[in-house]
Amino acid sequence: MEPRYGNLIGGREDFDGEAHLLKSPADGREVATVTFATGGKVNEAVDSAYDALRQWKRSTLAERQALLSRLSERIQSRSESYAFLESANTGKTLRQSTLMDIPLGIENIRYFATTKEFQLEREIEHPEYPGTRGIVQYAPMGVVASIAPWNVPFLMAVWKLAPALLAGNTVVLKPSHYTPLTALELGRDAAAAGFPPGVVNVVTGTGGVVGNALIRHPKVNLVSFTGSTKTGRELLAGSAGIKKFTLELGGKSPNIVFADADLETAARGVLFGIYLNSGQLCESGSRLILQASIREKFLSRLGELMETMRPGNPLDMETDVSAITTERQREKIETMVDAGVTAGAKVRYRKEVSGVAPPGGLYYPPTLLTDVRDDMEIAREEIFGPVLSVMQFENEPEAVELANRTDYGLAAGVWTTDLEKAKRVASQIDAGTVWVNEYHMLSAAAPRGGFKNSGIGRELGLEGLLECTQTRHIFMNPEHSDMSDVAYGLILPGAE
Ligand code: NAD
């Protein structure tokens, strides 16, 4: 029988709620049953996070880091089962889970378990008031409600938990109801690693019930949301109370290839940029912006390389093509591409998967489109699937202009052997991450997030940690003199 998961509330696993069966998008097999939380269970989770905060915010950085370190070791010892579960639940290739998502997530926890970048306070001087001292403290925000999407569930759970916990917050994490399994495993391992009850809570269910109850809860101080721009907008419009929001939203990221690039590396990088996870990554390089002089040569090479991609069951280590995680998403990709083709876009290459991928799974063939015009929806909106649109440019300013011609601003790639040019171009792109001769490389030391409609705030890095804090300024006057008197010649009431 498939395993059963409850909600993790106040250090207990709670099976009270509607059972929901999850089937694998890789092959349709039953994977696990989860328990959808009710609004009442969400309240219990927030209350337990709120109660746990009193002690947890007094813990030292060293104590928090020791627990994060123990958590990373526990996950490391079970990394193969995490990888299998992640792939079975999402349909992403086992190779990606085994070699990228799970080890990177473990590394990212280790980063927060060992970083010395973040300190709880720093000293300042006040140039206006010589002789005084200031202390700026980075206090936790309080209870953090973390809401995550379905595409990289383990990494997302790590990014939502590790920095928030290190900064002294307690967390209620809501993974996507499609892919909650590795987040639930992570929550179980957090309890086993010794995090006190209530510090880490994981509740599953839909956005309409669980997400909505979280963003409206008066004891939630920070909503850390990752998901679509559409939902991000709705959240801001519908939130109640005074609370902080960080939003990590969608993208339509450009990959710019100059004629002087190492073309073989660039071709492989462009395919990796769009077809990893079947294009279901927020930063997927979905727009290829190609210098006109190399257009035909480069496209032919892309076509040849696409032919070598191996479809099959994503749960086999040899398979290159991930499934599409939900039926709704598969239909959305199909509808958008069909509309684009009707409007004049041309399918230049398509790697067929049917007949090779498991019949019970959800798939869309990796596709490359040319003749994409700006007025088409596929040029402007996030498809979130294995679909690459090609555009071309003549010179550097035109490349920058095309790259920025979008309402999104999450990520970009620049491929050239001229590193001066690379930095010049990268510095003009309105995006939170720009890779040069690389794609998809994520470091926990680096802040990530979006410009424009791709979001507000940052995740990871020192900047991401600071998002989980609020500052307290302590103004100290060591002389015990009356500074108001010295500064302004005022006598305070009661002063001699
Ligand atoms: P989504 O916006 O539909 O859902 C995201 C999360 O929000 C889910 O947990 C969902 O249950 C919840 N939710 C939905 N409606 C809600 C509501 N009214 N109130 C509270 N919570 C609600 O996104 P998705 O389809 O799960 O994920 C795909 C999207 O996520 C893409 O747009 C992708 O670009 C984006 N994404 C962004 C990043 C990033 O770091 N910027 C990373 C991964 C994915």
- Distance between CA atoms of residues 343 and 372, nearest Å: 9
CA distances for 156 relative to 20, 180, 241, 328, angstroms: 22, 11, 26, 21
Report percent pLDDT > 90 for the chain. 93
Residue pLDDT, tens place only, 316-333:
999 999 999 999 999 999
Give the pLDDT score at 166.
98
The residue whose CB lies within 8 Å of the most ligand 1 atoms, and thus the one to mutate among 151, 220, 278, 456, is 151
Q: 7-21, 109-123, 137-151, 476-490: which has the minimum mean pLDDT? A: 476-490
**Cα of 272 from ligand 1 centre, angstroms:** 23
- Distance between CA atoms of residues 73 and 96, nearest Å: 21
Q: Which residues are within 8 A (CB) of 397 and not within 5 positions of it... i.e. 6 or more apart? A: none
C-beta separation of 244 from 221 below 8 A: yes
Q: What are phi and psi of 428, to 5 degrees?
A: -100, 0
Give the pLDDT score at 198.
98
Q: Which residues are within 8 A (CB) of 429 and not within 5 positions of it... i.e. 6 or more apart? A: 254, 400, 403, 404, 412, 414
Looking at the predicted structure, is the pLDDT value of residue 135 above 90?
Answer: yes
Q: What are phi and psi of 463, to 5 degrees?
A: -60, -40
* Sign of the torsion formed by the C-alpha atoms of 156, 159, 162 and 165: negative
Residue 351 falls in the annotated catalytic set: no
Question: pTM of this prediction?
Answer: 0.96
Cβ < 6 A, ligand 1 pocket: 147-151, 174, 176-177, 206-208, 211-212, 215, 226-228, 231, 234-235, 248-251, 282, 382, 384, 410, 450, 455
Residue 468 falls in the annotated catalytic set: no
C-beta separation of 442 from 137 below 8 A: no
Residue pLDDT, tens place only, 68-102:
999 999 999 999 999 999 999 999 999 999 999 99
C-beta separation of 470 from 164 below 8 A: no
- Distance between CA atoms of residues 320 and 348, nearest Å: 20
Q: What is the DSSP string of 82-103?
A: HHHHHHHHH---HHHIIIIIHH
Catalytic residue among 160, 174, 252, 351: 160
Average pLDDT (375-386) is: 95
- Determine which helix (DSSP H) or strand (DSSP E) holds 487, and give its type and residue range: helix 483-488
Residue pLDDT, tens place only, 166-184:
999 999 999 999 999 999 9
C-beta separation of 273 from 254 below 8 A: no
Residue pLDDT, tens place only, 213-248:
999 999 999 999 999 999 999 998 887 789 999 999
Q: What is the DSSP string of 166-223?
A: HTT-EEEEE--SSS-HHHHHHHHHHHHHTPPTTSEEE-B--IIIIIHHHHH-TT--EE
3-state SS class at 429: coil
The residue whose CB lies within 8 Å of the most ligand 1 atoms, and thus the one to mutate among 42, 92, 108, 147, is 147
Give the pLDDT score at 307.
97
The residue whose CB lies within 8 Å of the most ligand 1 atoms, and thus the one to mutate among 274, 282, 336, is 282
- Distance between CA atoms of residues 437 and 434, nearest Å: 10
C-beta separation of 40 from 337 below 8 A: no
Looking at the predicted structure, is the pLDDT value of residue 292 above 60?
Answer: yes
Give the pLDDT score at 342.
97
Looking at the predicted structure, is the pLDDT value of residue 395 above 60?
Answer: yes
Average pLDDT, the chain: 96
Q: Give 478's pLDDT tier (boundaries 50, 70, 90).
A: confident
- Distance between CA atoms of residues 251 and 253, nearest Å: 6
Residue 438 falls in the annotated catalytic set: no
Looking at the predicted structure, is the pLDDT value of residue 43 above 60?
Answer: yes
As given in the structure block, the two tokens for residue 192 are: 């086993």
Give the pLDDT score at 131.
87
Q: Which residues are within 8 A (CB) of 345 and not within 5 positions of it... i.e. 6 or more apart? A: 369, 370, 371, 372, 373, 376, 378, 389
User: Per 3-state DSSP, what percentage of the chain is helix, strand, and coil (rounded to 5)?
Assistant: 40, 20, 40
Q: Which residue has tokens 């010892």?
A: 77
Beta bridge partners of 389: 287, 369
Eight-class DSSP state of 133: E
CA distances for 28 relative to 97, 314, 470, angstroms: 19, 12, 45
H helices present in 358-455, as ranges: 377-380, 396-404, 419-426
**Cα of 467 from ligand 1 centre, angstroms:** 19
- Determine which helix (DSSP H) or strand (DSSP E) holds 467, and give its type and residue range: helix 461-467
Ligand 1 atom nearest to 205, measured from its CA: 11
Looking at the predicted structure, is the pLDDT value of residue 494 above 70?
Answer: no
Q: Could you tell me the maximum CA-CA distance found in the chain, to the nearest angstrom?
A: 92
Looking at the predicted structure, is the pLDDT value of residue 488 above 80?
Answer: no
